[in-house]
């Protein structure tokens, strides 16, 4: 079984058979691709070596994604899984990546909303939306992800003129989002039970693992002799009450090269994206990370883990020693730094500058409410005043000279920032309050002793 594929499909919404469903007329394509296609062998591939920038600091710094990687986005319903994927697509506006968004078992109104968002942000003309909505039959939902992979493979296995990719004709780069594979598994279970196939765990058929493994194995980075193209997969899995040990989540976790775990508790606390850095991991993306980012973000995960451990002691206030108070304050500012709104992507150079400023303790005495504003204005300041230094950050490691200059520029900006956005609570007031609490506690202890 094959479906049409080609550059004419960009900007269109199609069903699982490649037929247009957006009312904009027929699609004139020159090629067709099989829905089921054998994944490339070992020798046809090369290791992941180029980054996919999502524009989300929590992901690009701690759970980096590389071209050709399979990174699972997993979490409960309504924790921002689709938002992360759409932000990643929107951030490819200025890159050479083609994006495929596969909607499986979603409401048609949701797909229409996503299409409108992509159109407004100028990225629809390099995106194909494959939609098998909740109203479609189970077989259509079952083949939708494979149809999306087939359309993506056209761009990976061919150059921009449709010639087969080789050493002279470079293959393209594709980002495919499968939203979500839980619903594809349910559709496949429905088909298997209808065909009286013996049910296994959770009534899924025995080959449900093979269904997802052969789909995700099609994502790869091709060798230079085969055109050097790539297909990056972002499968999405929905968990029930945070249970990652269920059948489908464990299957897909074991197949993919890492997972971004979105936690509902963090989401409801206002941490967006709600990435749980403790359980999230990228197994190969670090090899593709920008060197300067690797340099500044190396201890970020440890800092946040230390902050989480000490958070439970925060209620004791001034009874904590100075080191613990510093870690709590520093960690709270780091968590605030990682908050980003929808469609508020940051360039990798701006992310590096922000994390550098946080590591060098420039943020620790700024009000938490002002941290996001400080980050955004610092990015604008570096773009306008010091573009050469900013651009050099994406070329290699931060040298001692560059580090010295960065500190000077950040200190200069911070002085200006505090004059326009002064802190609501001054540092002296905090110290005085802490001393007051300590004195009161001592007085109470004396009274108890009497």
Give me the percent of the chain exceeding a pLDDT of 90.
80
Closest CA to 123 of 175, 71, 166, 161: 175
Q: Please give the average per-residue pLDDT across 395-399, as a whole number.
A: 89
User: Which helix (H) or strand (E) element contains residue 148?
Assistant: helix 138-157
The enclosing H or E element of 154 equals helix 138-157
Distance CA(95)–CA(88), nearest Å, equals 11
Length of the chain: 450
- State the average pLDDT for the chain: 91
Q: Is 404 exposed, middle or buried (0-12, 13-18, 19+ CB in 10 A)?
A: exposed
Mean pLDDT of 250-268: 95
Ranking 33-47, 116-130, 283-297, 404-418 by mean pLDDT, the lowest is 283-297
Using 50, 70 and 90 to split pLDDT, how confident is the model at 322? Answer: confident
Q: Is the peptide bond before 11 cis (omega within 30 degrees of 0)?
A: no
Indicate the pLDDT class of residue 449, thresholds 50, 70 and 90. Answer: low
**pLDDT score at 408:** 95
Q: What angle do CA 213, 54, 100 make, to 5 degrees?
A: 50
* 262 close to 317: Cβ distance less than 8 angstroms: no
Per-residue model confidence (pLDDT) at position 326: 85
Any idea where the domains of the chain sit in the sequence? 2-289, 296-428
- Specify the CATH number of the domain 2-289: 3.40.50.300
pLDDT band at 234 (very low <50, low <70, confident <90, very high): very high
Please choose, from the candidates 132, 213, 221, 208, the residue with its C-alpha nearest in 3D space to the C-alpha of residue 175.
221
Q: Is 76 left (phi over 0), alpha (psi -120 to 50) or beta?
A: beta
| pLDDT level of residue 127 (50, 70, 90 thresholds) | very high
Q: Which of 93, 283, 308, 405 is catalytic?
A: 283
Same topology between domain 2-289 and domain 296-428: no
- Tens of pLDDT, residue by residue over 171-197, are 999 999 999 999 999 999 999 999 999
Measured CA to CA, the distance from residue 373 to residue 130 in angstroms comes to 37
Q: Is 32 a catalytic residue?
A: no
Q: Can you give the pLDDT at residue 425?
A: 63
Residue 285 pLDDT > 90: no
Q: Measure the CA–CA gap between 266 and 275, rounded to whole angstroms.
A: 8
pLDDT tens for 353-385 read 999 999 999 999 999 999 999 999 999 999 999
Which pLDDT does position 323 carry in this prediction? 82
Look-up: residue for tokens 């939708």? 144
300-311 and 322-337 are packed helices; what angle lies between their axes, rounded to 10 degrees? 120
Residue 275 is given by DSSP the state B
**CATH class of the structural domain 296-428:** mainly alpha
Distance in angstroms (rounded) separating the CA atoms of residues 103 and 13: 10
**Region 409-424: what's the mean pLDDT?**
91
Average pLDDT over residues 137-161: 96
**Chain segment 39-52, per-residue pLDDT in tens:** 999 999 999 999 99
Kindly indicate the confidence band of residue 441, based on its pLDDT and cuts at 50, 70 and 90. very low
């Amino acid at each position: 079984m094959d479906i049409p594929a080609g550059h004419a499909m960009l900007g269109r919404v199609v069903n699982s058979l490649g037929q247009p469903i957006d009312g904009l007329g027929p699609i004139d394509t020159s090629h067709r691709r099989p829905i089921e296609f054998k994944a490339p062998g070992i020798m046809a591939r090369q290791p992941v070596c180029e980054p996919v920038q999502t524009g989300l600091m929590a992901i690009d710094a701690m759970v980096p994604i590389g071209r050709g990687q399979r990174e699972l986005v997993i979490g409960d319903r309504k924790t921002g899984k689709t938002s992360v994927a759409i932000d990643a697509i929107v951030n490819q506006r200025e890159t050479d990546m083609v994006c495929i968004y596969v909607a499986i078992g979603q409401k048609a109104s949701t797909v229409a909303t996503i299409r409108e968002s992509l159109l407004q942000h100028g990225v629809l003309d390099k995106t194909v939306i494959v939609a098998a909505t909740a109203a479609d039959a189970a077989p259509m939902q079952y083949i939708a992800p494979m149809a999306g992979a087939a359309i993506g493979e056209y761009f990976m296995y061919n150059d921009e003129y449709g010639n087969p990719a080789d050493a002279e004709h470079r293959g393209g780069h594709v980002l495919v989002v499968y939203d979500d594979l839980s619903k594809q598994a349910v559709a496949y279970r429905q088909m298997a039970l209808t065909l009286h196939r013996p049910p296994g765990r959770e009534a899924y058929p025995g080959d449900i693992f093979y269904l997802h493994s052969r789909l995700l194995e099609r994502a790869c980075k091709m060798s230079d002799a085969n055109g050097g193209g790539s297909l990056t997969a972002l499968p999405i899995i929905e968990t029930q009450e945070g249970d990652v040990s269920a059948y489908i989540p464990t299957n897909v976790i074991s197949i993919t090269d890492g997972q971004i775990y979105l936690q509902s508790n963090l989401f409801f606390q206002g941490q967006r994206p709600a990435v749980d850095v403790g359980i999230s991991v990228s197994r190969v993306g670090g090899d593709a990370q920008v060197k300067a980012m690797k340099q500044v973000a190396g201890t970020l995960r440890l800092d946040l883990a230390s902050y989480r451990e000490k958070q439970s002691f925060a209620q004791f206030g001034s009874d904590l020693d100075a080191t613990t108070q510093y870690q709590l304050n520093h960690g709270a500012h780091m968590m605030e730094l990682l908050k980003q709104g929808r469609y508020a992507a940051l360039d990798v150079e701006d992310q590096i500058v922000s994390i550098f400023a946080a590591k060098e303790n420039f943020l620790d005495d700024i009000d938490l409410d002002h941290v996001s504003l400080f980050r955004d204005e610092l990015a604008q300041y570096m773009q306008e005043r010091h573009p050469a230094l900013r651009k050099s950050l994406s070329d290699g490691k931060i040298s001692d000279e560059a580090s010295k200059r960065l500190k000077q520029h950040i200190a200069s900006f911070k002085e200006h920032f505090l004059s326009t956005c002064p802190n609501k609570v001054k540092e002296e007031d905090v110290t005085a309050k802490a001393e007051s609490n300590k004195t009161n506690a001592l007085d109470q202890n004396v009274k108890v002793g009497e």
